Copies of this chain bind each other. A is one copy, B any other.
Amino acid sequence: MTDLNILKKQYQGFVEKIKAYNFVFYIIEWDSQTEAPDDCFEERAKQMKVLAEEQYKIMASKELIAIVDELYSRQNELDDILKHEIIEFKKANDRVIKIPMEEYSELNSLLAVTENIWAKAKDNNDFASFAPYLKRIVELLKKQVKYLETDELKGYDVLLDQYEPGMTIKKYDEFFDLLKTELIPFVKKVTSTKLEFDDSFSKLIYPKNLQKEFTNYLENVMNFDHNKGLSKESAHPFTSGFGTHDVRYTNHFYEDNFISSIFSAIHELGHATYESQVDPLLEDTLSGGGASMAMHESQSRFYENIIGRSYEFWKPNFPVLKKIFKKQLKNVSLDDFIKLINRSENSLIRTEADELTYPIHIMIRYEIEKDLFNDKIQVEDLPKIWNKMIKDNLGIDCPNDTMGVLQDVHWAGGSFGYFPTYALGSAYASQIYYSLIKDVNVQKALKNKSTKEINEWLKEHIHKYGSSKYPQEILKLATNEEFNPHYYIKYLKEKYSKIYNL
């Protein structure tokens, strides 16, 4: 039997290599999404292919597998953090070594170019130019799924579990069914009620530079530290973190929709706050970053919706917004602004959808993904299917694919099984909220134009753990309760009943 310290040191050597490659992909992805020139992607794909192969070789090396296997078999001798990491590592590593290297790297190099192709297709409302790439992504993922199936997990379940450990079609079906039974009737009542106020200010032009000025202000409110991160523009807002010292997010500014950049900023800054508040002691481990996709989304949506759309948040911050948009917001009251940012309406764009109708957008994507991976539908038919589901569930006609099936980057990045975590994240967020308000007076906390006290609570109860525990384990530590989606229903009903006077 190898000495445990030697074993741990050998493991650490591999961790360093894995982290170095994670860093490489982190930085290339950031460049690709924010500024790389259009014509570089063909050549870049070649480098990505080689790098993916090199990374694969490390993950699939016999030496590492042997080390992890031995640590796994001696997990009771390990501290909690390393023990959890080794269990997860073995799971992830099993995933990698089961997939033949050629297929693994074909997908990776494909994904290095598809986001760019998607961005162009979206710009040109040209699904056909993107379809062959998406088709190949789905094909390759289906093949990968086959390699990864276990007695418990089959088909799409394999992907769901990757994004949220423990979640399956069965569980998601239950979750979405609860939403359907409890929420849909309420949503119908709300969306058929007209919120009376003069919303003409929302249709004015809000210059990009002023929007940027306000989102910079929001960075201060949320304590985003530019010594440990940066913000930029991209087609689709996203956050990317490498440790607590390098957390980056992007935004996109629409001059005819000033609300968009505000809530994208708060949303992404929610992700960024999570990444930056992980315990620095986890820096040199693989247990940094967020605990799961849903837990990450719970934080971004907590800040965006529960905090960011509240009266308590805007009481101190609305005057600043008015000062920046002097002309546009001259005669606008805080009440009307609150109505605008919480108005619930059936709409086309997921990222612009309100809190209440949002889960419907997720349901549509979840159903489509499920059917794609169950071979019930084909990539070519996605625009037609998409448009029908939008019509059936939201009652609106989709005018083009740019605002329809092409609106999200996720599939272009190979992320299938990701979307449902958004709805799950909202449910986590509500449960966390009811726990937080036992300790924190939100109104008082926000008075000084800073989320500091809230950040601190989340750091202590959620963020500091990084990914060193399972998401629902952290949820239980933070809320003293198992996951309970009824908080989500309660929160939405309370909030919207008040806004809509129901």
- Which A residues are closer than 8 A to B by beta carbons? 16-17, 19-20, 23-24, 27-28, 30-31, 35-40, 42-44, 46-47, 50-51, 54, 225-230, 232, 242-243, 245-246, 283-284
Is the beta-carbon distance between A43 and B227 smaller than 8 angstroms? no
Q: How far is the CB of A22 from chain B (nearest CB, A)?
A: 8
A40 nearest in chain B by CB position: B246
Q: How far is the CA of A380 from the CA of B392 in the complex (A)?
A: 76
Q: How far is the CA of A230 from the CA of B40 in the complex (A)?
A: 11
Task: Name A's interface SS.
Answer: helix
Is the beta-carbon distance between A246 and B37 smaller than 8 angstroms? yes
- Residues in B whose Cβ lies below 8 Å from that of A40: 228, 242-243, 245-246
- Residues in B whose Cβ lies below 8 Å from that of A42: 245
Selected from B20, B37, B50, B246, the residue in CB contact (under 8 A) with A36 is: B246
- Residues in B whose Cβ lies below 8 Å from that of A27: 27-28, 31
Q: How far is the CB of A119 from chain B (nearest CB, A)?
A: 14
Q: How far is the CB of A426 from chain B (nearest CB, A)?
A: 30
Is the beta-carbon distance between A16 and B50 smaller than 8 angstroms? yes
A284 nearest in chain B by CB position: B46
Is the beta-carbon distance between A243 and B43 smaller than 8 angstroms? yes
Q: How far is the CA of A480 from the CA of B232 in the complex (A)?
A: 50
Q: How far is the CB of A280 from chain B (nearest CB, A)?
A: 10
Selected from B19, B38, B39, B228, the residue in CB contact (under 8 A) with A37 is: B228
A17 nearest in chain B by CB position: B50
Is the beta-carbon distance between B243 and A37 smaller than 8 angstroms? no
Q: A23-B44, A24-B51, A54-B20 are in contact. Are A37 and B226 (CB under 8 A)?
A: yes
- Residues in B whose Cβ lies below 8 Å from that of A246: 36-37, 39-40, 43-44
Q: How far is the CA of A225 from the CA of B38 in the complex (A)?
A: 10
| 10 A-B contacts (beta carbon < 8 Å) | A16-B50, A20-B46, A20-B50, A23-B47, A24-B28, A31-B31, A37-B226, A37-B230, A43-B245, A44-B246
Q: A28-B27, A30-B31, A31-B30 are in contact. Are A227 and B39 (CB under 8 A)?
A: yes
Q: How far is the CB of A284 from chain B (nearest CB, A)?
A: 8
Q: How far is the CB of A219 from chain B (nearest CB, A)?
A: 13
- Residues in B whose Cβ lies below 8 Å from that of A51: 20, 24
Selected from B17, B47, B229, the residue in CB contact (under 8 A) with A20 is: B47
- Residues in B whose Cβ lies below 8 Å from that of A54: 17, 20, 54
Q: How far is the CA of A242 from the CA of B119 in the complex (A)?
A: 23
A13 nearest in chain B by CB position: B50
Q: How far is the CA of A284 from the CA of B49 in the complex (A)?
A: 14
Q: How far is the CA of A257 from the CA of B19 in the complex (A)?
A: 44
Q: How far is the CB of A298 from chain B (nearest CB, A)?
A: 26
